[in-house]
Structure 1
Amino acid sequence: MSRNFLIDSFQSTKDGSKCGINPMSKKSKTFWNKLFVILAMALLTWELRADSFELNGEYTDLFKAVRRGKLEELEPLVESFIAQGKNISDALNEPYPSGLRTHKQNLLHEACKWDRLEIIEYLISKGLDVNAKDELGLTPLMIAVSTKHRYYNKDSNSVTTSSISSEKIRYLLLKGADPLAKSKSGMTLLHYAAYRGLDWFVEDLIAAKMDPNASDQNGWTPLHSATSGGHKNTVEILIRKGGNPKVKSEEGYTLIHIAAGHGGANLDLIPFLIQNGANINAKLFDNGETPLHIAVNKNDPQIIRLLLANGALPNIYDSGREKNTPLHIAVTFNFIECAKILLEYGADPNIKDGFNKESAAELAKRMGHRQHMSDLFKNK
């Protein structure tokens, strides 16, 4: 895609109100921050299958035609709809019979979700707003960038995954899609592109002056998104273009916290973040968990060993109600391999927690029915 074209798209966006929403009250902020993270990440990790999700409601036939990419089916349905004096923009999807929410998306959202360029062109020609937002504040362009398309072929019993269509993105921008739009949670196109690892689009967006440190209502930046997606190359691009590797969300999540919670995809990323100044022992604001606490909670020996080898403190306390060390967590959940690695790197089995005043060794012996774990502490 031409960078000049994308820059022109940014410069043509004059309505400053499109770039954000009113801040929420401090009283409700923490709750809604957590909710928005869940909603945003649920959308970002949504993988679509052509044979999944039964449609429901008055506009089922319209949405089915869009989903199948059958313009010859869609055209007569739309013409009939308009002939009845109805507005095609009012055709919104409804909850599935299972109760799964659909966030009141229109036919253009649906076409972008299923990568149907011919359908997208047709619907825009029929007057559908290229910047229409669903209940989460997502535009068709956001859907196009954020959705991973996964199709099941019943004949060959195989699954294929399509890449995000640059042609589709370019077409939406040509038709006036707002590159500065934000979702209700404050996420930008750069957040979505970073999560998907769309390096070409990330570079274009930054070249068009989009801030690599733009944060949503939770303080999550595109770097958090790229790290969540396990895209080391995207993280490198963002940092090279001015992204802050020491960034923290409003709850204290650093990039290493995120990387530690996403396992093997980030084995190469964690050392890179440390080399760029990230604090491997940073604590979350509410419970004081470090990346090492998170990795132990995830029962991830590979990440635990990597963190310890790069300077993670094995005896560091969290600041939750029980004030646990990573070793206390490993013993509590009977994560034997994790406990072995922690002991190997100097975890003290005799340090007591801050609530029960019990050491990891005492805890292991008290839970004697877990023989293999208690065996680790026989001489401790």
Structure 2
Amino acid sequence: MPEVSSGPVPEVSRKRSASPGPPLKQGPERKRACWGILTSQGSWADRSPLHEAASQGRLLALRTLLAQVNAATIDGVTPLYNCCVSGSVACLELLLQNGAHTRTTHTHFPSALHEACKRGNSQCVESLLSHGADPDYDSPHLGSALHVSCLHRHTSCSQILLHTGAHVNVGRGDDSPLHAAVRQDSADQAAVLLEYGADVNLRDSSNQRPVDVAPPGGKTQQLLQAFEVSPRSLCQLSRLKIRGVIGRTRLKLLPLLPLPSLLTHYLEHT
């Protein structure tokens, strides 16, 4: 009768036991291999089920996991941020209604608003702003959310930010949103910025104006050159001045004023 070994049996995962393969590494080598897998995944290694449900847009699963609505990974990624990555507005709204913070607790943590602008998820941007997100929130390494949307050519996100009262000239350091839009030769984006009062005379860290960094012969160069010889109309200047006096935090109250709808739309920039 064959002798049966009484030594320890190597641990084999259920998923791999059915198919032959190389023996599992033992000791220090195995630990190094496992650590390599974890570090290559970044913050995925400590993601909670709430992060998973948010990133995959699983609304029903999310409803049962809302006890830790502001849980953050080691890299500061929250479920709200994951929703902005996936573009799941329904999950985003659910998190916001259950106490998710629109602003990160530490300035170096990722910003949900900036991520939504980067990916062009305009509905996420609108939802975040309607729940109190600051349209002028400045990320230390990314600048303003408006700068990010201009850098990635997402005009719809820029329009929402500006409509809510984002400062049109605040970008990243000396680089204005108009500089970013012009470098991408995004004429639509540049036109929106000019409509909301972008300053064509601002200079970046290289002492260049937006027209100086425009691709030669491109649409944005032509737009800026035409703008410089035809200044804003009195109608545009008046609207910009009145909106400035009203202030960003009170712009949402415009529909409540006893004004003709035509005047309300004029002040709302719609």
Aligned with 2:177 (options 317, 320, 326): 326
**Between structures 1 and 2, the one with greater helix share:** 2
Q: Who is 1:273 aligned against?
A: 128
What secondary structure sits across from 1:194 in the alignment?
helix
- Aligned counterparts, 1:180-191, within 5 A: 185-191=45-51
- Which among 48, 52, 60 is matched to residue 192 of structure 1? 52
| Matching residue within 353, 356, 360 for 2:206 | 356
| Structure 2 residue aligned with 1:311 | 165
Task: Give the distance between the partners of 2:75 and 2:46, measured in 1 at CA.
Answer: 8
Distance 2:51 2:129 in 1: 22
For the 8 Å contact 1:194–1:223, the answer to whether it is kept is: yes
Match of 2:114 among 246, 252, 257: 257
Q: Give the Å deviation of 1:361.
A: 2.8
- Give the TM-score taking structure 1 as reference length: 0.48
Asked if the contact 1:257–1:294 (Cα under 8 Å) also holds between the matched residues in 2, the reply is yes
Structure 2, unpaired ranges of 5+: 1-8, 17-23, 25-33, 229-270
Shift of 1:205: 1.8
Q: Which residue in the other structure is 1:344 paired with?
A: 195
Query: 241, 261, 266: which is aligned to 2:98?
Result: 241
* 1:89 and 2:9 matched: no
Instruction: Supply the distance in 2 between the matched residues of 1:133 and 1:201 (Cα, whole angstroms).
Output: 29
Query: Does the Cα contact within 8 Å between 1:248 and 1:254 map onto a contact in 2?
Result: no
- Structure 1: segments with no counterpart, 5+ residues: 1-84, 93-103, 105-131, 139-182
1:105-149 deviation digits (Å, cap 9, x = unpaired): xxxxxxxxxxxxxxxxxxxxxxxxxxx9992389xxxxxxxxxxx
Deviation at 1:296, TM superposition (A): 0.9
Instruction: Summarize the Cα distance change of 1:255–1:248 in structure 2 as closer, same or farther, 3 Å threshold.
Output: farther
TM-score w.r.t. structure 2 length? 0.66
Q: Residue 254 of structure 1 aligns to which amino acid in structure 2?
A: S
Paired residues, number: 202
Q: Write the distance in 1 (CA, Å) between the matches of 2:195 and 2:209.
A: 17
Alpha-carbon shift at residue 267 of structure 1 (Å):
2.4
How far did 1:318 drift? 0.9
Q: Distance in 1 between matches of 2:164 and 2:61?
A: 32
Partner of 1:373: 220
Structure 2 equivalent of residue 118 of structure 1 = none
Q: Is the 8 Å Cα contact of residues 185 and 217 (structure 1) preserved in structure 2?
A: no
1:205 to 57, 65, 71: 65
1:86 deviates by 6.7
Change (3 A) 1:202 1:371: closer
* Paired position in structure 2 for 1:136: 38
Segments of 4+ moved more than 3 angstroms? 85-88
Residue 269 of structure 1 aligns with an amino acid whose one-letter code is C
Tell me the distance in 2 between the aligned counterparts of 1:91 and 1:194.
27
Q: Distance in 2 between matches of 1:248 and 1:201?
A: 25
Q: What CA distance in whole angstroms lies between the structure 2 residues aligned with 1:258 and 1:295?
A: 9
Q: Distance in 1 between matches of 2:136 and 2:77?
A: 19
Give the residue type in structure 2 aligned to 1:243: A
Matched residues in 2 for 1:225 and 1:371: separation? 36
CA RMSD of aligned residues (A): 3.0
Q: Contact 1:190–1:205 (CA<8 Å) still a contact in 2?
A: yes
Quick check: 1:349–1:359 contact (8 Å CA) kept in 2?
A: yes
- From the superposition, tell whether residues 272 and 197 of structure 1 become closer, same or farther in structure 2 (CA, over 3 Å): same
C-alpha contact 1:317 1:325 (8 A) present in aligned 2: yes
- For the residue of structure 1 that corresponds to 2:158, the secondary structure is helix
* Alpha-carbon distance in 1 for matches of 2:188, 2:102: 31
Are the structure 2 counterparts of residues 359 and 187 from structure 1 closer, same or farther at C-alpha, using a change threshold of 3 Å? same
CA distance in 1, matches of 2:53, 2:14: 29
